[in-house]
Chain A
Amino acid sequence: MELALQQALNGALLSVFYAVMAIGFTLIFGVMGIVNLAHGELYMVGAYVVWLTYAQGILPFPLAVLAGAGIVAGIGIGMERALFRPMRGNVLMGAILSVGMIFILQVFVATTWHVGLMKNIPPAIKGSVEMFGAIAPWQRLVVIPSAVALIGGLWWFLRRTKQGQALRAVAQDPEAATLQGISIDRVGIIAMAIAAALAGVAGGLMAPIMRVDPYMGHTALIMALMVTIVGGLGSIEGALVASFIYGFLVAFVTGYFPKEIASPATMAIIIGALLMFIMLAVRPRGILGRGT
């Protein structure tokens, strides 16, 4: 019972984490037709900013996370201007260019702040709550409302503001949107900034929980990819649904898979990757995606 509750809590945490990552990833694809394989590296930079500012005592934790989001959004805008704008619509070449960015960001971080040292980030909010025998540190618990607030804010932006509606219009039909006087370039920048900032916040919020190193983006990218594909590439609602499937799948496989057969954490990703593969073969548009 305690283990089940503990895994349910972990599942909820992982779900919102995957949702924040995957929504950004899917947003860039929907608006710009770009698959940004360096999305995980943006997340990694967000975590590093928190380590650099908060763990060194320069900024309080919430401000450090915001600073990370801002810096990562800046990198995202730079990538949009330099790499993705000329490749708009050419998905394969855009993805290959983003591979270049993976190496550049990884090496920049690894050589500037070194790989080997463990980046210890003290919890910003100490203590934990005990519920029916399951222990939940506050540092983990705060991720959930923060992520929900972020996703809610994005929802409001996309539905209620003029810019947000322009963004959705471009995602639906770029040509028709241009005819309405919407600037695709401008919308592309906004989408990329939002997506990057989301990855940055995810990195910042997870930094005290995860192991921070220059290669942490790899797992984050795989998770974002799996959630996005299963949800339907380009569909935010789909990403949201799939992030819950994956969050609880990973939490329960990690909790219950017998250690003697194979490492449970590895097994969780194997099952997740196979699910993504089957989805691509059987229903490439995912749970809620529009046709290809």
Chain B
Amino acid sequence: MVRKIKGGYLGLAVLFAMLAAMPFIIGEYRLTTVLMMMIWVIVVVSYRLLATTGEFSLGHVVVMGIGAYSSAIMSRNMGMSFWVTAPLGGLIAAGFAAATARPLFRMKGMYFLLGSFALGEAIRLCFRGFKEPFGGEGGFWYVPTPSIGSFIFSDTISYFYLVLGVTAACLFIMYRIDQSRIGKAMVAIHSQDSLCESLGINILGYKTLAYITASFFAGIAGALLGHYMTTVSPPQFAIGPMLLVLIWVVVGGTNTFWGPIAGVFTLYTIQETLRGVLVEWMPMFYGIILIAMVFALPGGLESLPARIAEWRKARREKLAGTGAG
């Protein structure tokens, strides 16, 4: 067990070391896509936190939007610093989760999926419908760029390192949660909820905790996105991006911490490599990948190493069998 935990932290360190080297390897345009990918990594890993308890949400990207809008509004209208508004954005998103957990967790499975969608859509349409304070359909403009003293994170490379640092911190904390007793209890709820209840595990409590924590990190990711784009608008948090997050998570798999990360990295890389070829066919490509994965590899990308090992073992046994015969 101890060895495995060490391996996990090493994996995170290697991952972020590789990402930190990116600005020296690739050009500015590609760097932007890696930057966006890191923001989405926070979103999918936090999404998995809730998904481990067995509930799939269709409102997670809207929660991200709550963080984005709060941070944007506080920093532009109240002149607060990014370093205060971004964590506050996360806290407000977490507060929203705390307020809505009770009615939401009266639902399970399909009903949870649809309920989170209804709630998310209501909130997102508030962003669109109310010009004050959200800016209405056109969105909220001129979100200030973060700065320390006189240094402004205005170019891609400096903002890249800002996102890198925040993503690393978020992933480190979420990995700790995943490996802790709390994280294990969350997974146990998914597979054996009545057994857990009889063992005295407070199911509603753990689900609420997972939802609040996931929302906090989604809110932070939203703040990072908003201050980078300098505009926050309703379509950014619509059902389209939400379904992409769902596809990344389903394609990667939710059983391990690494599944959703693998999903984002793989699909994002394919997407960016084939951008010129696929152009507007891209969403269809995503749709086909999703359907193909559900049928061909239901465990997600994370189950691939085990699958390959199994396949090789079967082949070796078969070869040994023919040799003996």
A interface with B by C-beta (< 8 Å): 35, 83, 86, 91-93, 95-97, 99-104, 106-108, 110-111, 218, 222, 225-226, 229, 261-263, 266-267, 269-270, 273-274, 276-278, 280-282, 284, 292
* Residue B181 lies at the interface, judged by CB distance under 8 Å to chain A: no
Is B280's CB under 8 angstroms from A92's CB?
A: no
22 A-B residue pairs with CB within 8 Å: A86-B295, A96-B294, A97-B294, A99-B243, A99-B247, A100-B290, A103-B243, A106-B283, A106-B284, A107-B282, A107-B283, A111-B281, A222-B121, A229-B114, A262-B129, A262-B131, A263-B128, A263-B129, A273-B125, A274-B118, A277-B103, A277-B122
* Residue B117 lies at the interface, judged by CB distance under 8 Å to chain A: yes
| Most A C-beta atoms less than 10 A away, residue of B107, B110, B117 | B110
Provide the B18-57 mask, 1 if CB < 8 A to any CB of A, else 0: 0000000000000000000000000000000000000010
Is B110's CB under 8 angstroms from A104's CB?
A: no
Is A281's CB under 8 angstroms from B107's CB?
A: yes
Is A281's CB under 8 angstroms from B115's CB?
A: yes
* Residue B73 lies at the interface, judged by CB distance under 8 Å to chain A: no
Is B106's CB under 8 angstroms from A104's CB?
A: no
Measured CB to CB, the nearest residue on chain A to B107 is A280
Is A266's CB under 8 angstroms from B243's CB?
A: no
Q: Which residues of A contact B294 (CB under 8 A)?
A: 93, 96-97, 100
Is A266's CB under 8 angstroms from B117's CB?
A: no
Q: Which 7 A-B pairs have the closest CB atoms?
A: A103-B287, A281-B103, A266-B129, A107-B284, A262-B129, A100-B287, A273-B122
Least CB distance, B62 to chain A, in whole angstroms = 11
Question: Given A35-B114, A100-B286, A100-B291, list of 20 further CB < 8 A pairs?
Answer: A92-B110, A95-B110, A96-B290, A97-B291, A99-B246, A99-B287, A103-B243, A103-B290, A225-B114, A229-B114, A266-B125, A273-B118, A273-B122, A273-B125, A274-B118, A277-B115, A277-B122, A280-B103, A280-B115, A284-B107
Measured in the bound complex, the distance between the Cα atoms of B128 and A267 in whole Å is 10
| Most B C-beta atoms less than 10 A away, residue of A100, A102, A270 | A100
Measured in the bound complex, the distance between the Cα atoms of B26 and A191 in whole Å is 53
With A95-B113, A262-B129, A266-B125 in contact, is A280–B118 under 8 Å at CB?
yes
With A273-B121, A284-B106 in contact, is A262–B288 under 8 Å at CB?
no
Least CB distance, A253 to chain B, in whole angstroms = 11
Q: Which residues of B contact A110 (CB under 8 A)?
A: 280
Measured in the bound complex, the distance between the Cα atoms of B239 and A226 in whole Å is 16
Measured CB to CB, the nearest residue on chain A to B117 is A225
Measured CB to CB, the nearest residue on chain A to B249 is A96
Q: Which residues of A contact B290 (CB under 8 A)?
A: 96-97, 99-100, 103
Q: Which residues of B contact A106 (CB under 8 A)?
A: 283-284
Measured in the bound complex, the distance between the Cα atoms of B240 and A106 in whole Å is 11
Is A108's CB under 8 angstroms from B284's CB?
A: yes
Q: Which residues of B contact A277 (CB under 8 A)?
A: 103, 115, 118-119, 122
Least CB distance, B136 to chain A, in whole angstroms = 8
Provide the B259-294 mask, 1 if CB < 8 A to any CB of A, else 0: 000000000000000000000111110111011001
Measured in the bound complex, the distance between the Cα atoms of B137 and A273 in whole Å is 18
Least CB distance, A141 to chain B, in whole angstroms = 30
* Residue B311 lies at the interface, judged by CB distance under 8 Å to chain A: no
Is B109's CB under 8 angstroms from A92's CB?
A: yes
Is A104's CB under 8 angstroms from B288's CB?
A: yes
Measured in the bound complex, the distance between the Cα atoms of B280 and A97 in whole Å is 21
Measured in the bound complex, the distance between the Cα atoms of B290 and A254 in whole Å is 38
Measured CB to CB, the nearest residue on chain A to B122 is A273
Q: Which residues of A contact B173 (CB under 8 A)?
A: none
* Residue B182 lies at the interface, judged by CB distance under 8 Å to chain A: no
Is B239's CB under 8 angstroms from A218's CB?
A: yes
Q: Which residues of A contact B136 (CB under 8 A)?
A: 263
* Residue B250 lies at the interface, judged by CB distance under 8 Å to chain A: yes
Measured in the bound complex, the distance between the Cα atoms of B107 and A218 in whole Å is 23
Q: Which residues of B contact A95 (CB under 8 A)?
A: 110, 113
With A102-B243, A284-B106 in contact, is A273–B287 under 8 Å at CB?
no
Measured CB to CB, the nearest residue on chain A to B128 is A266
Measured CB to CB, the nearest residue on chain B to A215 is B240
Residue from the list A96, A104, A267 in contact with B250, Cβ < 8 A: A96
With A99-B246, A273-B122, A281-B115 in contact, is A91–B110 under 8 Å at CB?
yes
